[in-house]
Amino acid sequence: MMGRRHSQFKKILIGYDGSAQADKATESALALAQSFDSKVLLFAVARPPEPATMVEVDAMLDDARVTLLKSESEGGRPLGTVQALTRS
């Protein structure tokens, strides 16, 4: 086993996303790090959520409109009043 001063790899960066390939790469990197007495840095990555589709956005806006109209019909503040309050 080589000491750290003779090691080719002082630090090994592992990118990990939870996939089977990442598991295999992590196992290999850890074995390599042990062989070379290297430090291991683990970089975990995650896939960002998909943006909402126009259908989903339209549905959310429709729900908001229904809620607003229901609130106004039940004596809630009209939209203009709500907008004025949020600007203050």
> pTM, whole model, 2 decimals?
0.47
The domain limits of the chain are 4-44, 54-87
Is the pLDDT higher at 70 or at 37? Answer: 37
Q: What is the mean pLDDT of the chain?
A: 79
Q: Can you give the pLDDT at residue 74?
A: 73
pLDDT at 5: 53
Residue type, 45: V
pLDDT surpasses 90 at 58: no
Distance separating alpha carbons of residues 62 and 44, to the nearest angstrom:
38
Nearest to 41 by CA among 5, 16, 4, 21: 16
**Residue 42 in this model has a pLDDT that exceeds 80:** yes
From CA 88, how far away is CA 86, in angstroms rounded?
6
